[in-house]
Structure 1
């Protein structure tokens, strides 16, 4: 191939000498290849023996082709180096561009007040359901809000200036040993740092855990003294020392694991003028009413590991006129109170006019307490028993006429109540919305038939407002799915068929109406799974 001098000059002077030269030789090489391939096609396409003259020519072609290939490899290597360099530069430029974009981000220009709201709303908050959970003063302490402080210096300043972010304090000293220097809470750097970050005025929710109660030396809580005027909820777990003397003016909820070890409470060395929720556990050799302002009490939880006179308890609740939630557990009661023939007069009973929730987690408490109280405002009743206290419950319901909405029954010996008797109970509870049974009820044709019965106006004869029925039964006991589906559908005014939901947990059955009253269908399975135990869940 021959090219005139002007064509060569054009290639060599076109922008880049390297690229122009490469292009020129590439074109020339391609033209030579085409000519050589055409000339020796008869040898390339078959196995013919070359002539002597052709052998020499082919050898020259091979040498020339090898030389060209080496040049191509060298050029390709240069191109790869150039491409890699360009790619690295692009990565750096892209990273720098992203950083400049961040400067223009609206997040950099958020007002401090809005940033505070974001910090609070993106944290986990304790549920406010139930009267014995701490009263929220800020988001939960886990995961640690320190994550926010590590984003940038401005966010750190904002986070550290937010007392609510640090006001929920959890501190554990289960392994407290006074013989170890600097081991107490006063030397707990994390605890002291969090307390400082709460500022000087924001309310506090403090949970402090000491060593086990059998530990010889309880962990001191004197460190709380500077914060007494700000504590809204105080929870003391395990072996904890004496509270500082004085007043907790803001305290609304107090929970103590080992009540009898706190002589300062019995001796009125500490006062709580604003308290209205109390959780006391342990042995009760002293009357807790000495330090609790009963007239303003709204929530009371007593878990008593000793004999406690019923007369003292009844005197307490008779003064607690504002009590709305009561959970009571006795280790044992006076023997005469367990006598089924014990006669209780109207004068012996206490009318708890505001009580909405009653929980008795021990059978002996159920059998002894029900005969002594009248509960006209009761909405939630949670009873534990060995044998269904039919006469006691019937008497309580008759004299109280409560508007019950939730009934939880727990049978310790799993001896199911007679379904006819249970249907009679439901007949007197038209406002009932929820029933939960733990071994108290069996799924029988009589029970299902009673719940299926519909009056002429289309309203169920039994529990017309029922929204949920949970029966925690032996998973080995088979249920008649068709019968249950028919019952659920009969109570649905839409007339549409009921549904058996698929569930991932063995032994769990979830039945629902076309459109459940209590839960939307996408929440239904989560609701059932929250129960954790296998059983039959029915949403009407």
Structure 2
């Protein structure tokens, strides 16, 4: 600082960006140096300067501007260097990332494992929100990741074999599905599983055009699932003699109005490979003519006499779901039981209909009548006596505790018991059955006990736990598997859950599910067809 109250400057050292050496730059103005009391007064107050002070302050401003210009130039240089460094870093980081990708385990995954992973990305039929055929959904999505993924996916026919066109979904329009995209998919597989659900609430012309696109490859269909409307029925004539490879067929109707006026459907009789049929009439029975003699699986809701007519001609039937409905006349008189010599699994809606069958190979039986049914025991025992079948699995819907206990006593080969609870009013009977099974001397041979609640559950969960513990601790324990499935309603308390988990840790194969997952699992217990979400 000058002794006369003037100002001083400092020397600026700068580093060369090329060689890193320091150099002496112009002197930088130092505003921290004091210039005297009068200058301080002017800086901190509002007094006007006299002429000499005016010239002095102007010189200070001039020197400050020069320093500011130097600093601005220095900052601009630093910013340019920073931008250059950031760009170099980004390029280097990208280069490093690409080199790390070379070492990624994904590159070493064999194609067969990639195919398995890709298969798990396909939309689920039971989830309506996932169904569609856009490029943002699998399998199209995986083709956009890399050239290798694209090559693997396009060479995997199973990824492209299922085509689902579902117009009734509330958020869909008739323009949702692209014919060009579907045509492209039809070129990537040798066989196809077609799921086509029409809608009466949308313009039928685009739906018809899409169905015609699929029909171009009907000779390669292996599975066909149809949701029919009145307008769509006449188009089915194009299927006659054109679906030689279809092995599985599912038909359902959009509404009662769509069934009115349809006398029958006779376009599938020449489907020479058809072995698995499911028909859900729901509103009104519409006959569907089929090559019944070759069927191995059957799931239809129709009058009993129609069931009998079909079943008399199915010597190769292995599984049947006999849903009896639409009967306006008394059931036909019993003459002689129909022999279903190969039938291994049967689900039936009315226990009284058991008297019409002889099933010597039957291993699994589901009776779906529920709590309002007549006594199940006589027709059940009659079936066993008539058939001498090796029945090992039984599924009952809301049965009484007494009837179930008698059935278990009379069925020493029975090792698997499944109870579906579908009526809130029958909770007391189901709880009574749980209490009965707590005695391990009742059917000690059971190694599987499943309970599923399709309605709001009011089961005694603690009693269920005690029943399992009692059977697990019994001498010569046979129980290996158990399930508790709850679709809705109160859940077990934490103490019960802890007890159930303890049994699992001790070796019991225990399945605990609730909500939608429980419903999905229960759907398989009575052998119903699940082709439609």
What is the TM-score when the length of structure 2 is the normalising length? 0.64
Question: 1:164 Cα deviation (Å)?
Answer: 3.2
Equivalent in 252, 261, 265 of residue 267 of structure 2: 265
Question: Aligned residue for 1:348?
Answer: 336
**Aligned equivalents of 2:118 and 2:312: distance in 1?**
44
Question: Aligned residue for 2:419?
Answer: 435
Question: Aligned residue for 2:396?
Answer: 409
RMSD: 5.4
Question: Aligned residue for 1:163?
Answer: 157
Question: 1:274 Cα deviation (Å)?
Answer: 1.7
Q: Is the 8 A contact 1:257 1:281 kept in 2?
A: yes
Question: Aligned residue for 1:275?
Answer: 274
Question: Aligned residue for 1:395?
Answer: 382
Question: Aligned residue for 1:243?
Answer: 238
> Does 1:191 find its partner at 2:182?
yes
Equivalent in 405, 409, 412 of residue 423 of structure 1: 405
SS in 1 for 2:219: coil
SS in 2 for 1:332: coil
**Aligned equivalents of 1:256 and 1:13: distance in 2?**
82
**Match runs of 1:162-241 below 5 Å:** 162-172=156-166, 188-198=179-189, 202-212=190-200, 219=208, 223-224=213-214, 226-238=216-228, 239-240=232-233, 241=235
> Does 1:331 find its partner at 2:325?
yes
> Does 1:383 find its partner at 2:364?
no
Once the two structures are superposed, what CA deviation does each residue of 1:389-445 show, in whole Å capped at 9, x if it has no partner? 33333433443454445444335xxxxx54233322232343124332223553677
**Match runs of 1:456-471 below 5 Å:** 461-462=443-444, 464-471=446-453
Q: Is the 8 A contact 1:409 1:438 kept in 2?
A: no
Q: Is the 8 A contact 2:297 2:320 kept in 1?
A: yes
**Aligned equivalents of 1:527 and 1:419: distance in 2?**
24
Question: Aligned residue for 1:147?
Answer: 141
Q: Is the 8 A contact 2:359 2:389 kept in 1?
A: yes
**Aligned equivalents of 1:517 and 1:349: distance in 2?**
48
Question: Aligned residue for 1:479?
Answer: 460
**Aligned equivalents of 1:508 and 1:110: distance in 2?**
45
Question: 1:277 Cα deviation (Å)?
Answer: 0.5
Q: How many residues align?
A: 448
Q: Is the 8 A contact 1:404 1:432 kept in 2?
A: no
Q: 1:469 to 1:402 in 2, by over 3 A?
A: farther
Question: Aligned residue for 2:439?
Answer: 453
Question: 1:205 Cα deviation (Å)?
Answer: 1.0
Question: Aligned residue for 1:54?
Answer: none
**Match runs of 1:4-19 below 5 Å:** 19=22
Q: Is the 8 A contact 2:397 2:419 kept in 1?
A: no
Q: Is the 8 A contact 2:392 2:416 kept in 1?
A: yes
Question: 1:469 Cα deviation (Å)?
Answer: 2.5
**Aligned equivalents of 2:280 and 2:427: distance in 1?**
31
Equivalent in 242, 251, 256 of residue 251 of structure 2: 256
Q: Is the 8 A contact 1:224 1:244 kept in 2?
A: no
Q: Is the 8 A contact 2:219 2:244 kept in 1?
A: yes
Q: Is the 8 A contact 2:438 2:467 kept in 1?
A: yes
Q: Is the 8 A contact 1:379 1:402 kept in 2?
A: no
Q: Is the 8 A contact 1:449 1:487 kept in 2?
A: yes
Equivalent in 490, 494, 519 of residue 507 of structure 1: 490
Q: Is the 8 A contact 1:467 1:516 kept in 2?
A: no
> Does 1:318 find its partner at 2:306?
no
Q: 1:486 to 1:147 in 2, by over 3 A?
A: closer
Q: Is the 8 A contact 1:349 1:373 kept in 2?
A: yes
Question: 1:257 Cα deviation (Å)?
Answer: 3.1
State the structure with bigger RCO (CA 8 A, min sep 6), 1 or 2. 2
Q: Is the 8 A contact 1:427 1:462 kept in 2?
A: no
Q: 1:97 to 1:313 in 2, by over 3 A?
A: same
Question: Aligned residue for 1:302?
Answer: 300
Q: 1:88 to 1:399 in 2, by over 3 A?
A: same
Q: Is the 8 A contact 1:273 1:293 kept in 2?
A: no
Question: 1:302 Cα deviation (Å)?
Answer: 1.2
Structure 1, unaligned runs of 5 or more: 2-7, 37-58, 176-181, 412-416, 536-540
Question: 1:463 Cα deviation (Å)?
Answer: 5.6
Question: Aligned residue for 2:37?
Answer: none
Q: 1:76 to 1:513 in 2, by over 3 A?
A: same
Question: Aligned residue for 1:48?
Answer: none
**Aligned equivalents of 2:157 and 2:431: distance in 1?**
59
Question: Aligned residue for 2:99?
Answer: 101
Once the two structures are superposed, what CA deviation does each residue of 1:246-298 show, in whole Å capped at 9, x if it has no partner? 253322112233695665438x5xx122211112344556573xx4141x311
Question: 1:381 Cα deviation (Å)?
Answer: 0.9
SS in 1 for 2:316: coil
Q: 1:105 to 1:409 in 2, by over 3 A?
A: same
Q: 1:150 to 1:491 in 2, by over 3 A?
A: same
**Aligned equivalents of 1:190 and 1:12: distance in 2?**
64
**Aligned equivalents of 2:513 and 2:84: distance in 1?**
53
Q: 1:369 to 1:109 in 2, by over 3 A?
A: same
Question: 1:519 Cα deviation (Å)?
Answer: 9.1
**Aligned equivalents of 2:212 and 2:122: distance in 1?**
27
Question: 1:145 Cα deviation (Å)?
Answer: 1.6
Question: 1:105 Cα deviation (Å)?
Answer: 5.2
